[in-house]
Copies of this chain bind each other. A is one copy, B any other.
Amino acid sequence: MSNRQKRFILPEDEIPKYWYNIQADMVNKPMPPLNPATKEPLKPEDLYPIFAKELCHQELNQTDTWIEIPEEVREMYKYYRSTPLVRAYGLEKAIGTPAHIYFKNESVSPIGSHKLNSALAQAYYCKKEGVTNITTETGAGQWGAALAYAAKVFGLEAAVYQVKISYEQKPYRRSIMQTFGAQVTPSPSMSTRAGKNILTKCPNHQGSLGTAISEAIELARTTPNCKYTLGSVLSHVTLHQTIIGLEAEKQMAMAGEYPDIIIGCFGGGSNFGGISFPFMRHTILEGKKTRYIAAEPASCPKLTRGKFEYDFGDEAGYTPLLPMFTLGHNFTPANIHAGGLRYHGAGVIVSQLMKDHLMEAVDIEQLDTFKAGCLFAQAEGIIPAPESCHAIAATIQEAEKCKKTGEEKVILFNLSGHGLIDMSAYDQYLSGNLTNYSLTEEDIEKSLEDVPQVDMK
């Protein structure tokens, strides 16, 4: 086992200078977001009241393949990028698989997850356009922590609505955001009209990303010089995350291999798209045979059990209508610990790719994700985030198939973050107090009833 290289890191001058915009290469472009009132396709200007202008243009850009990363953002990336690509010899041995398993270790970013890649970009564009206050939602708190720090970097004030169940399950994340100087409010709250409506209808509402998004958008709309930012789902967020896959592509070349299978956990799609899209480019343009697997929670299975429809991105219906795989914008996911995956819909790019069978999805039960997480922790020494445990579980499934067939497949997954703030979840798992959640077809049909009726042609 001697002299095997385990970790691949790019020299600073090899860090990508452009993000990759897969929309430009897609044969079937994503359908346009619609104005919910007129059902007219959205123009970038329609989004100006909510987002920084540059982000509105990135969101709808279907022509430019490469978007330059601003120098100020690249300067901040240099503090932690490239993140390492690691050959998981320990995990391979624990499984006994002939597969070669690699993971991109985004957990070593200062914030502990990939979220910082987009937070820095979004905060930068807001600052550049004269914004003074930014607001957002967060589930487990990975995104909120990243945004709180990014706001501090660029001298902005940050207000974060955190999904109530996560706020309670993970008090340390709140402390992290506060240490970075952000204001944190559990959502649903009584501080917005959207929050009040939800709490009136359902007083013990545990919150969801959909709810928190409504509150944050409302704050942005009603506060001067304040913009909203989002941690996943939207195309511009995934664009920023392609830095992960672009680095991984170079790093896999350093390792002298090319992935047969690429796996990411799936909430809104930004970490999955971030690692996948730069490789998928070669599938689209050159017919490269690679499988792309999104790993989502069995209790929030929009890709495997949802419907492809125009739907709102939030609970209150403040967002444009997005063409996406959805469980319905009123779907309230079970209280799994992978708070970052508790979202009813998939981003428009991924949804189109699913429809076109360019990628696949698996859903995984909570107990299986923690079993996978513990195996990984013991084998590699890193406690993975509950979200990342989904990618690990899917990786183990594929590696076990290789064990049966003897195939030496190359599997790459994204370790989107560490789970050090989620130890109460591991505690529950280790003490046998964690459960799976069943979700019947009727549950799903019911939550899909509220999806607006829009022709999908």
Residues of A participating in the B interface, judged by any CB pair closer than 8 Å: 1-2, 4-7, 9, 12, 71, 75, 78-80, 86, 90, 108, 110-112, 116, 149, 152-153, 171-172, 175-176, 178-181, 374, 377-378, 380-383, 418, 420-421, 423-424, 426-427, 430
- Which 7 residue pairs are nearest across A and B when measured between Cβ atoms? A110-B381, A172-B423, A175-B423, A108-B108, A420-B420, A175-B427, A6-B78
Q: Is the interface of A mostly helix, strand, loop or mixed?
A: helix
Measured between alpha carbons, how far is A79 from B78 in the docked complex, in Å?
20
Q: CB distance A5 to B78 under 8 Å?
A: yes
Smallest CB gap from A71: residue in B: B2
Question: Which residues of chain B are within 8 angstroms of A116 by Cβ–Cβ distance?
Answer: 381
Q: Tell me whether B378 and A181 are in contact (CB under 8 A).
A: yes
Is there contact, CB below 8 Å, between B111 and A381? Answer: yes
Roughly how many angstroms separate A348 CA and B172 CA in the complex, as a whole number?
38
Chain B residues, Cβ within 8 Å of A79 = 6-7, 86, 380-381
* 7 new A-B contacts at CB < 8 Å, known A108-B108, A111-B381: A6-B78, A7-B12, A9-B9, A149-B381, A176-B383, A179-B383, A180-B378
Q: State in angstroms the CA–CA spacing of A171 and B425 once bound together.
A: 12
A12 to chain B, nearest CB (A): 6
A143 CA to B391 CA in the complex, in Å? 29
By a CB distance below 8 angstroms, the chain B residues around A78 are 5-7
CA separation between A430 and B2, bound complex, in Å? 48
Among the interface residues A111, A149, A171, A420, which one has the most CB atoms of the partner chain B within 10 A?
A420
**Could you list 25 A-B pairs, sorted by A, with CB under 8 Å?**
A2-B71, A2-B75, A4-B75, A5-B78, A6-B78, A7-B79, A7-B80, A79-B380, A79-B381, A108-B108, A110-B381, A111-B381, A112-B420, A116-B381, A149-B378, A149-B381, A171-B427, A176-B383, A176-B426, A178-B426, A178-B427, A178-B430, A179-B430, A180-B377, A180-B378
Q: When chains A and B are docked, how far (Å) is the Cα of A110 from the Cα of B6?
A: 14
B residues less than 8 Å from A178 (CB atoms)? 426-427, 430
Contact of A179 among B12, B171, B426 (CB under 8 A): B426
Q: What's the minimum C-beta distance from A276 to chain B, rounded to whole angstroms?
A: 25
Q: Judge whether A110 and B430 touch: CB under 8 Å.
A: no
The listed residue (B12, B108, B175, B180) touching A424 by CB distance below 8 A is B175
User: Which chain B residue has the least Cβ–Cβ distance from A427?
Assistant: B175
Q: Distance in Å from the Cβ of A239 to the closest Cβ of chain B?
A: 22
Kindly state the separation between the CA atoms of A228 and B299 in the bound complex, as whole angstroms: 45
Which B-chain residue is minimally distant from A373 (CB atoms)?
A: B179
User: In whole angstroms, what is the CA distance A172 to B424 when docked?
Assistant: 7
B172–A420 CB distance below 8 A: yes
Residues of B within 8 A of A152 (CB): 378
Name the residue among A71, A110, A153, A427 with the largest chain B CB count within 10 angstroms.
Answer: A110
Q: Looking at the complex, which one of B2, B86, B176, B426 makes contact with A175 (CB distance below 8 Å)?
A: B426
Asked if A377 and B179 make an inter-chain contact with CB atoms under 8 angstroms apart, the answer reads yes
List of B residues within 8 angstroms of A380 by Cβ: 79, 110
- Give the complex CA separation of A108 and B171 in angstroms: 23
Give bound CA distance, A427 to B171, whole Å: 9
Minimum C-beta distance from A415 to chain B (A):
11
Which B residues touch A112, using CB under 8 A? 420
Could you tell me the distance between the alpha carbons of A116 and B383 in the complex, rounded to whole angstroms?
14
Q: Which residue of B lies closest to A430 (CB)?
A: B178
Nearest CB in chain B: distance from A119 CB, A = 10
Question: How far in angstroms is the closest Cβ of chain B from A157?
Answer: 13
Q: How far is the CB of A427 from chain B (nearest CB, A)?
A: 5
Which of A7, A152, A171, A423 gathers the greatest number of chain B CB atoms within 10 Å?
Answer: A423
Contacts of A420 in B (CB 8 A): 112, 172, 176, 418, 420-421
Check B12 against A5 for contact (C-beta < 8 Å).
Answer: yes
Query: Whole-angstrom distance from the CB of A173 to the nearest CB of chain B?
Result: 8
- Report the separation of the CA atoms of residues A2 and B9 in the bound assembly, to the nearest whole angstrom: 21
Contacts of A378 in B (CB 8 A): 149, 152, 179-181
Give the chain B neighbours of A427 by CB distance below 8 A: 171, 175, 178
Q: How far is the CA of A7 from the CA of B171 in the complex (A)?
A: 31
**Shortest distance between the CB of A9 and any CB in chain B (Å):** 6
Please name the residue on chain B nearest to A5 by beta carbon: B12
- Distance in Å: Cβ of A251 to nearest Cβ of chain B: 13
